[in-house]
Amino acid sequence: MEQGITQPSVKSQHLWWQNGVIYQIYPRSFQDSNGDGVGDLQGIISRLDYLQWLGVDCVWLSPIFSSPMADFGYDISDYQGIHPLFGTMEDFDELLGEVHNRGMKLLLDLVPNHTSDQHPWFLESRSSKDNPKRDWYIWHDGKADGGLPNNWLSVFGGHAWEWDEVTQQYYYHAFLKEQPDLNWRNPQVQEAMMNVMRFWLDKGIEGFRVDVMWHMVKDEQLRDNPPFPGSTFDPNDLIYDHYTPVYSTDQPEVHEIVHMMRAVTDEYDDRVLIGEIYLPIHKLVTYYGQDNKGAHLPFNFQLLTLPWDAPAIAMAIDEYEGALPAEGWPNWVLGNHDKPRISSRVGREQAKVAALLLLTLRGTPTIYYGDEIGMRDVAIPMNEIVDPQGLNMPDLNISRDPARTPMQWSGEINAGFSTHKPWLRLPFNSGRVNVEKQKGDMYSKLHFYRKLISLRKEHAALNVGSYRPIYADQQLISYVRESGNERFLIVLNLSHRPAYFKPRQESYSGTVILGTEIERIGMQVEDIITLGGDEGLLIRLS
């Protein structure tokens, strides 16, 4: 690992989304202002001072648009309306202004792959075969024997084709049947969605996170997806992951659509386009586009999906750095609304090591609300599950509810989130694990996050500096961040046992400026460094 990948010299000028920290809010669960048990825009406004105190630069909101809520906002019935649960357009305008008043940016979730089945576009499309909007969605006859058009499955379980009795055809839905997929091969669909983007950009938002970007275009011939290698083929098997979605996702033409979205984004100054893309690295990096005219940040989910294993993660970081196009800017994600929380995946103590990794790697980090206080997945009784993914496949225990529970603000009733019973239950320990309690404890995870974010802002080497891997073994990852005369060594023990940093060629000495154990700060280190289990160090090199 001594011979590392090096980057081109750091550019003199970086954009806000390159040196900033993004903070994801799941609006239903951040703060309830009107006592109905569901978070809302006014609630978010009331907590912006906290986000400013924490040091984040950009707030990303999961969907707040008009929706029947079959998939909690990812089934949109009006792309230019606000759901009454969250407030009004006036509330949104106030939120945007208050975010900007604090020197922060605001991103919205764009869900272009599918709409709600209650969207006026779809109501027209399904009204008759000759309706002008019929081709706005993916309709198809069944096979001659009466079978489905192909074997494509829904991510949420079951077949992805829904029969429409009125027009005697099937329509395609990659997710719920209430979420019909748009036909992105239709130029009218393309123009309509570009105008949706312009509507919000004209309001002054700083950009979009684009939902399931790699799903947007499907194989024109509707060919069957093959079984996943090694799986036992069973035509009655209706579990999405048992097939490889080579024809229903990641088609070559999707890059033309991403290029269109980037062109619209570039009509405005200093905006950013982020893509949700769960693909291997060699495919992920293609979404930067030719001449870097695709997504500014194709989301990199390796820290979400890989086993928490030092050799695997060290290799993945280097593979990613090596695969990036020349002008491509990296990014990293530890948690989001679709995956188990980091503290549940790797444990409470190791989650601090993960935070140190997230906030010292080269590239833009995204923090999921509550991770900064160590929120864990909450055990939701089966009779309280509301997530359609969990309800449709109960035997797989894949509900996303446990990672979407209300923010734990204080020891008050309902953790200060609401005066009413929250839409999802809180953990039993929310009286101990909350923002208010951790704000008063300098040893807390919250203060650790705040200090890390502050150090990122203070030091160009940690912010936009180069990355060079130094040493990795079965327990450790280590690397150097450098800019000008500043050099920092980061050493992370991803195991629960003591470990030893033993560089093979260079000599390293310096001062610990932050560690998962606060007592380490100020200590001098040299050459072989001993780390305890679940320990990470940030060292300013001499």
Q: Hey, which residues are catalytic here?
A: 211, 267
Three-state DSSP string of 123-180? HHHCCCCCCCCHHHECEECCCCCCCCCCCCECCCCCECEEEECCCCEEEECCCCCCCC
Euclidean distance between the first and the last CA atom of the chain, given in angstroms as a whole number: 22
Handedness of CA 459, 462, 465, 470 (dihedral sign): positive
The Cα 111–Cα 209 span in angstroms is: 9
Beta strand 297-298 with 272-275: parallel, antiparallel or unpaired? Answer: parallel
DSSP 445-513: HHHHHHHHHHHHHH-HHHHT-EEEEEEE-SSEEEEEEEETTEEEEEEEE-SSS-EEE--SSS--EEEEE
* DSSP conformation class of 520: G
**CB-count burial class (<10 Å; 0-12, 13-18, 19+) for 186:** middle
CB-based contacts of 74: which residues, under 8 Å, 6+ apart? 63, 67, 111, 175, 179, 211
The Cα 248–Cα 148 span in angstroms is: 15
Instruction: Tell me if residue 366 falls in helix, strand or coil.
Output: strand
State the greatest distance between any 2 C-alpha atoms of the chain, in Å, as a whole number.
Answer: 76
Q: Which two tokens stand for residue 172?
A: 């395609």
Three-state DSSP string of 291-327? HHCCCCEECCCHHHHCCCCHHHHHHHHHHHHHHCCCC
Q: Which long-range contacts (CB under 8 A, 24 or more apart) does 439-445 make?
A: 442/518, 443/518, 444/373, 445/351, 445/352, 445/355, 445/372, 445/373, 445/374
Q: Which two tokens stand for residue 326?
A: 């020349």
Q: Tell me, rounded to whole angstroms, the distance of Cα 123 from its chain centroid.
A: 31
Beta strand 331-333 with 364-368: parallel, antiparallel or unpaired? Answer: parallel
CB-CB contact of 288 with 319 (8 Å) = no
The Cα 70–Cα 154 span in angstroms is: 15
Q: Which two tokens stand for residue 517?
A: 């154990």
Q: Tell me, rounded to whole angstroms, the distance of Cα 237 from its chain centroid.
A: 29
